[in-house]
Every structure is written in structure tokens, then in C-alpha cells.
Amino acid sequence: MTLILGIDPGSRITGYGVVRAGARGCEYVASGCIRTGNGALPERLQAVFRGIREVIETYGPVTVGIEQVFMARNADSALKLGQARGVAMVAAAEAGLEIAEYTATQVKQAVVGTGAADKQQVRMMVMHLLGLVQKPQIDASDALAIALCHAHTRASLIPHGLSAAKRRGGRLRL
């Protein structure tokens, strides 16, 4: 069982989602949003830094998936997004966590099966895969999708030889 944190960074709202990945798939642990408020920029960035640190201290994930951004609308929004993303990433790195980056297309592909899915479709599949009854907030849903994508990618990276040995009851354990 591996606790996985997904982070969807944003200049106003940073979503987070924690899932427990095991042999039978993923279970929901927690999700939510860090809202940065209307204060001065240093305070808003501290809210992201401390928020991610608190999530890590509370749930104890061992690995993190974070959205990789290729296309920002413009240089100004890219700068603002970059500031929040850098701060979220350094909070995870300072906690000693392994960090993987995924593009939005990779996340959609892993969760919905098509890179062209919209946020609502992603949320529906996240709810279905994790058996959620209540709709998570949209940034929290994106973060859960990133966590699921990371869980899926990690699982598929397990060498086939080792998996086979494990299935046959061999001595190799991952």
C-alpha cells in the first residue's frame, strides 16, 4: 500500500488529493483546496507552502504527482502559476518526497482514457474510480486525478519479471 499525493497548483486555488494505492487499485483518503486569499503575494505563497506541508504531515504520502504546465494563456498568468507551482514543489521536496510531473493530457489519458476529456468528465471518472458519492471541488478532483495517474504510472513501471515472480509466490517482493 502506497500513499500518493496529487497536487494541482494554481495562483488562487491549489487542489490536493490523497489516494491509497494497493494491489486492487486505489482508495480515496482525502482531498481539498488551499485558497490563497487576497493578501500580499508573500502571504499567498506561504499559504501554498504551509498548506502542502500540512497535508504531507497529516496524511504521510511517500510520493507526489504534480501537474506539468506547457501551455499557459500568457506570460503573466504563467509567472503567477509558476510561483505557486514552485512553492508547492519545494514544500514536497523539503519533506523528502519523490516527485513526478504529468501533463494534463497524460492525466486525462490515464483517468478517462482520452487526452481530450474536460474537467467534468475527469471528475465523473475520479468519482467512479474512487467510489465517491459527493462531488469533490473541481481543483480537488483534478488533484485526485493526478494522484490516480501517478498511481497508474508507478504500477505500470513495476518490472514484468518481478510481478510474475510475485504472482507465482516467488521470494521476490517489491
Annotated active-site positions, please?
8, 67, 139
Residue 78 CB, nearest approach to a copy of itself (Å): 4
Beta strands 13-22 and 25-35, pairing class: antiparallel
Contact track, a copy of itself, 55-94, x by CB under 8 A: --------------xxxxxxxxxxxxxxxxxxx-xx-xxx
Residue 148 CB, nearest approach to a copy of itself (Å): 21
Contacts of residues 104-109 at CB distance under 8 Å and 24 or more positions apart, as own/partner, are 104/67, 106/149, 106/153, 107/67, 107/142, 107/145, 107/146, 107/149, 108/145
Among residues 98 and 114, whose Cβ is nearest to a copy of itself?
98
| Length, in residues, of the chain | 174
Residue type, 147: A
Query: Using CB under 8 A, which of the segments 16-24, 40-48, 133-141, 150-158 binds a copy of itself?
Result: 40-48
Q: Determine if residue 139 is labeled as part of a ligand binding site.
A: yes
Among residues 39 and 170, whose Cβ is nearest to a copy of itself?
39
Cβ count near 170 (within 10 Å): 11
Q: Determine if residue 8 is labeled as part of a ligand binding site.
A: yes
CB 57 within 8 A of CB 74: no
Using CB under 8 A, count the residues that bind a copy of itself: 34
Of the candidates 124, 44, 127, which has an alpha carbon nearest to the alpha carbon of residue 81?
A: 44
Among residues 46 and 109, whose Cβ is nearest to a copy of itself?
46
**Where do contacts with a copy of itself occur on this chain (CB under 8 A)?**
40-43, 45-46, 48-49, 69-87, 89-90, 92-94, 99, 101
Binding site membership for Mg(2+): which residues?
Answer: 8, 67, 139
